[in-house]
Amino acid sequence: MVSVINLMSRGLDGALDRQQALADNLANIDTPNYKRKDVDFISVLRKESEESSSLSLKTTNERHIAGSKTEANSFKSLALRKSNYRNDKNNVDVDVEMAEVAKNGVYYNTLAKQINDQFRILKDVISKGGSQ
């Protein structure tokens, strides 16, 4: 269960990074030559979930610190340069950005609720123990 919470936490980090990139796009909507940015964190999370299910790190002493195979800042911001939306070579479309902000917000809120549910389950298990 802890690895699921860690993976969902990484998802929240990725959604936060993406939200920042989308906010930057909206802030630069009138900047000539600005190219919209996006953060692809879903593919990173898929890769991490596959790696975590295939091989786990082990410690040989109780005083060892459990390791992590993931980098803290592995989400990369990508500048999308394929299209020019306007004559000033800015490719930010306010409608696309607002739709992506809404979609990202739903993703973030869903993950936050799922993490909250996981912690509620852990709290119930700890408080009730093995008793019914």
Please give the pLDDT value at position 52: 59
Cα–Cα distance measured from residue 109 to residue 15, given in angstroms and rounded to the nearest whole number:
10
Of 43-52, 74-83, 121-130, the range with the highest mean pLDDT is 121-130
Assign 5 to helix, strand or coil. Answer: helix
**Which residue has tokens 């980098």?**
71
Residue 53 has pLDDT above 60, yes or no: no
Please give the sequence-ordered ranges of beta strands (E in DSSP) within the chain, or none if there are none.
37-39, 77-79
Structure-model confidence comparison of residues 79 and 101, the more confident one: 101
Q: 22 near 101, Cβ under 8 Å?
A: yes
Q: 57 near 70, Cβ under 8 Å?
A: no
Assign 1 to helix, strand or coil. Answer: coil
